[in-house]
Amino acid sequence: MRIRGYRMISLDHLDLESLWIFGATAAVLWSVMAAGLAQAGRFWPLEVLLATMLAGLGAWGFSRWERRSVSPSGGWNTREAWRLGLLGLAGLLLFSWPAEHFPLLGDSAIYPNTAAALIRTGGLSYHYVPLDGLTREQKELFYIPSERQVPGVPIRSYRGLLYGAYYVMDPDRNQILSSRQPVPIVWMGGAGMLAGPLGMLYVTPLFGVAGLVAIYFLGRQIFNRRTAALAALWLLLSFPQLHFSRAPYAEAVGQFFVLVGLYGLIRALQTGWIGYSALGMMAWAVAFAARIEVLLAIPALGLFLAFMAFRHGLSVALRDSLLLIPSVGFAIGTLNGPYAGATAELMLAYQARFLRRLDGWRLAGGVVAGLLLIGVVWMAMRRWERIARGFQYSFAVLLLLAMGYALFLRSWVERRSPEGFHAELMPMAALYLSPLLFGLAGLGAVQVALQRPLHLERWWLLLFGLSFGMILFWKYTTARVYPVALRRLMPEVLPTLVLLAAWGLRWMEAKVGWRRLSRGLGYLVCLWLAGISGLYWMEQEGRGTWDFIQRLERQIPVDAVVLFEPLQGDAVVGWFAAPLWSFGGRDALLLNQKIDRRLLEEALGRWRGQGRPIYVLAQHDPEAWWPGPFPGHPVGELRWRSSLIGQSLRFPSVIWRFDFRFKIYRID
């Protein structure tokens, strides 16, 4: 058909899922190359452009390989296109109010600050010029030595913590290092190259939307279109998805690559094609390079290989196991060693201290015994139907009992324990996500467990979610404040919950006489989720903060040394020391709480001898915290008026509105 000499474009040959796979593959390949460039100190515009082109070519080649190897899943589906279009549009409208977390108010601000330093220097390791010329004792006025960072836990993986954002690796040579995994940082760095500091904040909203699309295609493969659409809707409306898609944490980035990995490995289980296995394993390696918590997926990866051997043969499983070599190689090559080491030290000191009592041989023996037990149970289930049904029913009952205990009884049972506060983890999550959602997820999990014949893909999803949920609902792995305590649940647990809950609701809907009840429950879950997240739909955290930073830079000479009041009491002006150095390269120094007068006067004398102007930014009168008489005089004042979502145990999370005034002093 032609119109004015042009042929009408046919959509029949297009496949939405293939388009999504192309985009996901390109994102995985770009992450691999960009993280490699950052590690090598070559993250410059020309190299990043070349990596982008190669990622696109690689994704195109993968798509052609897929079409030749696997039957396409179908042509253009207009209804599905509308569904995904509305889902993506709603996600963009809700998530595209990014939080301006530039000041170092928490972990979220580490990523844009490090991305800014990456753009300036091309790497993740830096020479910290502001400390040049100072003695070792003088330098310790401006960073926290690692042995004093956590009382009772001398950290040995690095030498000190600067601004709360960078690791001091060599105090003598003033070498500092990024304190987080590289993948979120390189994505923000790439966005910052294109659209400036505010542009890098849109990385997490875009990944949050991409996560909605990813869970739809994952759910469609494991369950069906209606279940996938409902799960994506609940994920869209949930408060954790909203909050962590706006704030520049690593969770939204990690969630996307975790879901891409799940999709690839599920498709490999279905088809046996090596390309899907490669995509899934490399996506999980990229997810690990975003969040080291992905390490908890190792048991699920082992089960994947076992299921591949059961369904497609031992040779296929051995073939796919070889794909672990490049995936593990990338994960190790991009691992932030000091960050991983410090995390392990803190975990062994607190949450996982019981592991210190286990020697390596006992631990290895336990793992081998567990694997042998799984193998024996699996063989018995294959041979004897009655044993298989008994195992399924036992597993389903234990699952429901465990969930009921964690939701309703654990807090009461452990109320007298010194660590009884950990029991609130699942009940608090249920407040934000709805107890109905947890109940429906339990129902969906039971349906998966009892289904005959066994549906390997659904079983694997269930066991994947359990491998994370059992750990993350056991003890706090973050500060005991909300909403930040929900961040660990967002990438793996939350998608598993909504998928299983949607499946449980669809099962109810299929039962005669239960349709109205199931629809009512579905609406109630939507209302609960929207009722919590809706409180924050129109709230943008930190609005105007970047303008404040620019005003601050204009009031201070470029060659000045800038000292910030210590972070103590309600003083927050020190949050701005990090962005002043990260984005502008200024000599911004955050004073520690304990200030040695002699050492500070010696440092001031050195800077005066160099003819450098010295400024102090303070929230309170310097006479109250400066050691000895304060030698400066006021030369200006700045006002930071904005809002943040407060971190506390209050439910729902409070919105903290503030109006701070900071004074600028000059020391002559």
What HEC string does 132-149 produce? CCCCHHHHCCCCEEHHHC
Q: What single DSSP character describes residue 131? A: G
- By the 8 A CB rule, do 508 and 447 touch? no
- pLDDT value, residue 389: 77
Using the predicted structure, report yes or no on whether residue 517 has a pLDDT greater than 60: yes
φ/ψ of 16, rounded to 5, equals -60, -40
Give the chain's mean pLDDT: 91
- By the 8 A CB rule, do 488 and 479 touch? no
Q: How far apart are the C-alpha atoms of 662 and 665, rounded to whole Å?
A: 10
Instruction: State what percent of residues in the chain have pLDDT above 90.
Output: 80
- pLDDT value, residue 345: 87
Q: How far apart are the C-alpha atoms of 219 and 16, rounded to whole Å?
A: 15
How large is the C-alpha radius of gyration of the chain? 27
Q: How far apart are the C-alpha atoms of 254 and 257, rounded to whole Å?
A: 5
- pLDDT value, residue 7: 46
Q: What is the DSSP string of 387-431?
A: HHHHHHHHHHHHHHHHHHIIIIIHHHHTTTSTTGGGGGHHHHHHH
Residue type, 201: L
- pLDDT value, residue 346: 82
pLDDT in tens, 530-541: 999 999 999 999
Q: How far apart are the C-alpha atoms of 577 and 556, rounded to whole Å?
A: 13
Q: pLDDT band for 15, please (50, 70, 90 cuts).
A: confident
Higher pLDDT, 326 or 148: 326
Q: How far apart are the C-alpha atoms of 617 and 639, rounded to whole Å?
A: 12
Residue type, 658: F
Q: How far apart are the C-alpha atoms of 34 and 330, rounded to whole Å?
A: 12
SS3 595: coil
Contacts of 427 (CB under 8 A, 6+ apart): 407, 408, 411
Q: pLDDT band for 356, please (50, 70, 90 cuts).
A: low
- By the 8 A CB rule, do 37 and 47 touch? yes
Contacts of 585 (CB under 8 A, 6+ apart): 120
Using the predicted structure, report yes or no on whether residue 400 has a pLDDT greater than 80: yes
- pLDDT value, residue 355: 59
pTM over cut 0.85: yes
pLDDT in tens, 545-592: 999 999 999 999 999 999 999 999 899 999 999 999 999 999 999 999
Which of 72-76, 196-200, 311-315 is the least confident region? Answer: 72-76
DSSP element (H, E) containing 199: helix 182-200
Q: pLDDT band for 374, please (50, 70, 90 cuts).
A: low
